[in-house]
Chain A
Amino acid sequence: DAGITQSPRHKVTETGTPVTLRCHQTENHRYMYWYRQDPGHGLRLIHYSYGVKDTDKGEVSDGYSVSRSKTEDFLLTLESATSSQTSVYFCAISEEAGKGYTFGSGTRLTVV
Chain B
Amino acid sequence: SQQGEEDPQALSIQEGENATMNCSYKTSINNLQWYRQNSGRGLVHLILIRSNEREKHSGRLRVTLDTSKKSSSLLITASRAADTASYFCATAFNSKLTFGKGITLSVRP
Contacts and interface: CB of A to CB of B under 8 A. Distances in A.
B42 A90 contact: yes
Interface string A58-87: 110000000000000000000000000000
B45 A101 contact: yes
Nearest to B101: A42
B92 interface: yes
B54 to A, nearest CB: 19
Given A1-B42, A105-B42, A100 B100 contact: no
B67 interface: no
Interface magnitude class on chain B: 20 to 34
Interface string B26-51: 00001101010000011111001000
A102 interface: yes
Interface of B: 1, 3, 30-31, 33, 35, 41-45, 48, 88, 92-102
Closest 9 CB pairs of A and B: A103-B42, A97-B95, A100-B45, A42-B101, A43-B99, A98-B92, A103-B43, A98-B30, A42-B99
